[in-house]
Amino acid sequence: MHIAEGFLPVAHCVAWYAVSAPFVIHGARKVIEQAKEHPESRLLLAAAGAFTFVLSSIKLPSVTGSSSHPNGTGLGAVLFRPPVMAFLSTIVLIFQALLLAHGGITTLGANVFSMGIAGPWIGYWCWVGSNKLGWHRNVGVFLALAFADLSTYLVTSVQLGLAFPDPVSGIAGSVAKFMGVFVISQVPLAIAEGILGVLVFRLLTDVARPELERLGVIKPSMSEAVAR
Amino acid sequence: MAHGLALDHAAWSSPWRSRSVRDKGVLSLGLLVAAISLPAWPGGAAVAVAGLVLLLGPIRVGWARLGRIIWLPVVSILIGVATVAVSVSWDGGLRLQLTSEGIDTAGRLAVRALAATLAMFTLACSTPMIDLLSALRHARVPDALIEIAALIYRFSFGLLESAGAIHSAQEARLGYATRSAAMRSASMGVAALFLRSWDRARRLEAGLVGRGYEDALRTLEPPRQRSAGFVAASAALLVAIAAGAVAWQVLT
């Protein structure tokens, strides 16, 4: 769930655009560099962006009985790194706003910060941290996807809390209020997305190992490395 | 995804499709800025009325299609507005209450968000994504970035169709009959979709390189109608809305 069109006051819209802009510009530069060095990667990046966009059409079963859709940026952050996801998420959010009426143009800066910057970076740190601690790959994937999803909604709650402080309990009360609304659907969904990510990653390592090795997501197995 | 396709279909079939993106941008972005910067009453309400008249009049979206595309944002706005209206406190345990300040803020927020949504629809329902990307190319956004955005747009429709076909096939085999089967089906669907997008990108790359693809997939752009009169009328509408909102504030 993104912040809807027109929901934030003007000052907040401008501020979130200003905060997100350096990350998106950095990501765009990385994408341009990558496109110059490896022209073939443009199509793969576009495929990744389209995949993230289409993920929002796939319904996931949720513990509460309702269903929702995956966030998708956690998997993207593990596969393509967070700077690239900042740029790809911006395009995906523009498409979601103009093609699905989900999110908005005035709230794009805020939504990019939560879904394209905070979510991917926190998910990526979970993945890197888990690898450094020597935990099983599945644990890293689960944590990356679940925390990318959760942190996106945590940041969204803070953004809404800052914009609409509660008349009685202030900003803290408002943040807690928005978190309370999101927690009903997002905690089960984050767990479901983490489990889904583990299953997807296992399938990918079986059938798309060369691609994952080329992206540097997994190391080549010893026997294959020797054979090369 | 019906509402999503409805937005795209509306854009491609709009009588305003042939108008220049600059002209439509002045009107739609002007309405959007007015919606979030003017007081909700009467400025925001006036923007909402103007947006509705434009969508049902010259942009010819129609009530049925408008209903299909607006229900999702309206639900999002209602959830957010209800959350703003209710106040919480912890005096002797969790207490939920309605305050006049909360209700007032929620009311203004609902009008502003609805006005901004309708303003955004005036652009989304009259301008296909490809036209917007061409306009960005003319605004000197780097080719590589426009190229990736255009490819994401083109890939998305093929993948949406694949996602629908995969889901239908799994559903027909009782793939969503139980929670564990649904989780298994969803994961297999996502993995299949990822591999399919990867494979299509590789095959497209091979095909395009064989045809001399180096930097950009430029196509001929149909001529777009630029109209000083349209821009002047848009500016007049925006000035009238802003002046009316200011006059209302002064008089009341």
- A14-31 pLDDT, tens digit per residue, is 999 999 999 999 999 998
Alpha-helical segments (H) within chain A: 10-37, 41-55, 73-80, 82-100, 108-111, 119-132, 137-163, 170-207, 209-214, 222-227
Record: contact A44-B202, CB cut-off 8 A: yes
Determine the residue of chain A that is closest to B9 in CA distance: A99
Q: Determine whether the interchain pair A46/B156 forms a contact, defined as Cβ–Cβ distance below 8 Å.
A: no
pTM, 2 dp: 0.89
pLDDT at A65: 41
pLDDT value of position A63: 42
State how far the Cα of B241 lies from the Cα of A129, in Å rounded to an integer.
54
pLDDT at A45: 82
> Which residue, among A167, A125, A162, A164, has the nearest Cα to A147 in the 3D structure?
A125
Please tell me the distance in Å from B154's CA to the nearest CA on chain A.
Answer: 8
Read off the DSSP letter of residue A3: P
Q: B179–A53: do the CB atoms touch at under 8 Å?
A: no
Contact A105 B148 (CB under 8 A): no
For B126, list phi and psi in degrees, rounded to 5. Answer: -125, -5
Q: Determine, yes or no, domain membership for B245.
A: yes
Q: Which residue of B has its CA nearest to A165?
A: B84
Query: To the nearest 10°, the Cα dihedral for B71, B77, B83, B86?
Result: -100
- pLDDT recorded at residue A67: 45
A154-174 per-residue burial string, b: 16 or more CB within 10 A, e: under 16: bbbbbbbbbbbebbbbeeebb
The reported pLDDT for the residue numbered B2 is 45
Q: Of A176, A182, A151, which Cα lies nearest the Cα of A162?
A: A176
- Nearest by CB to B201, from A44, A92, A195: name it: A44
| Residue B125, burial from CB neighbour count under 10 angstroms (0-12, 13-18, 19+) | buried
Give DSSP secondary structure letters for A153-218: HHHHHHHHHHHS-BTTTHHHHHHHHHHHHHHHHHHHHHHHHHHHHHHHHHHHHHH-HHHHHHTTSS
pLDDT digits (tens, 9 = 90+) for B49-90: 999 999 999 999 999 999 999 988 898 889 889 988 988 888
Does pLDDT of B111 surpass 70? yes
Calculate how close chain A gets to B225, using CA atoms only, in Å. 22
Instruction: Please give the structure tokens belonging to residue B143.
Output: 């080719």
- Closest residue in chain A to residue B148, using alpha carbons only: A46
- Cβ of B195 within 8 Å of Cβ of A42? The answer is no
Domain boundaries, chain A: 10-218
**Residue B227 distance to chain A (closest CA, Å):** 24
Q: Does A87 sit within 8 Å of B97, measured CB to CB?
A: no
How close is the nearest chain A Cα to the Cα of B251, in Å? 24
**What percentage of chain B reaches a pLDDT higher than 90?**
46
The pLDDT assigned to A80 comes to 84
Asked if residue B73 and residue B48 are part of one domain, the reply reads: yes
Considering only CB atoms, A95 lies closest to which of B120, B153, B188, namely: B153
Q: Token pair 């689960």 is at which residue?
A: A142
Record the tokens describing residue A182, joined without a space. Answer: 């999101």
B204 found inside a domain: yes
Q: For residue range B113-167, what is the model confidence (pLDDT) as tens digits?
A: 999 999 999 999 999 999 999 999 888 888 888 988 988 888 888 888 888 899 8
The number of C-beta contacts closer than 8 angstroms across A and B is: 232
B20, part of any domain: yes
User: Per-residue pLDDT for chain A (228 aa), expressed as one digit of tens each?
Assistant: 688 899 999 999 999 999 999 999 999 999 888 888 877 777 778 887 888 888 765 655 544 444 456 777 888 888 888 999 999 999 999 998 998 888 899 999 999 999 999 999 999 999 999 999 999 999 999 999 999 989 988 999 999 999 999 888 889 988 988 888 777 777 877 888 888 888 878 877 887 777 778 777 887 765 555 555
Residues B50 and B113 both lie in one domain: yes
Q: pLDDT band for B1, please (50, 70, 90 cuts).
A: very low
* Domain count of the fold of chain B: 2
The Cα of A109 is separated from the nearest Cα of chain B by a number of Å equal to 15
The reply to whether residue A173 touches residue B87, judged by beta carbons under 8 angstroms, is yes
Is B218 contained in some domain?
Answer: no
Pair B80, B12 in one domain = yes
Residues in chain A with CB shorter than 8 Å from the CB of B69 are 101
Do B42 and B118 reside in the same domain of the chain?
yes
Q: Are residues B180 and B58 in the same domain?
A: no
Which of A10, A42, A195 is nearest residue B147 as measured by Cβ atoms? A42
B140 and B107 share a domain? no
Provide the shortest C-alpha distance from residue A14 to chain B (in Å).
11
User: B36 vs A13: CB contact, 8 Å cut-off?
Assistant: yes
Q: Looking at residue A221, what is its pLDDT?
A: 66
User: Which residues of B are less than 8 Å from A4 in CB distance?
Assistant: 73, 76-77, 80, 113, 117
| One domain for residues B116 and B54 | yes
Q: What is the ipTM of this complex?
A: 0.89
Residue-level pLDDT at A223: 52
Q: In this complex, do B87 and A48 lie within 8 Å of one another by their Cβ atoms?
A: no
CATH number for the domain whose boundaries are A10-218: 1.10.1760.20
Over residues B20-44, the pLDDT tens digits come to 999 999 999 999 999 999 999 899 9
Both B153 and B232 in one domain: the answer is no
- Domain span at residue B155 reads 134-210
> Residue B191 — pLDDT band, cuts 50, 70, 90?
confident
B186 in a domain, yes or no? yes
Helix (H) or strand (E) holding A68: strand A67-68
Dig out the tokens for B115 from the structure. Answer: 């006005």
Nearest CA in chain A to B7: A99
Residue B220 inside a domain? The answer is no
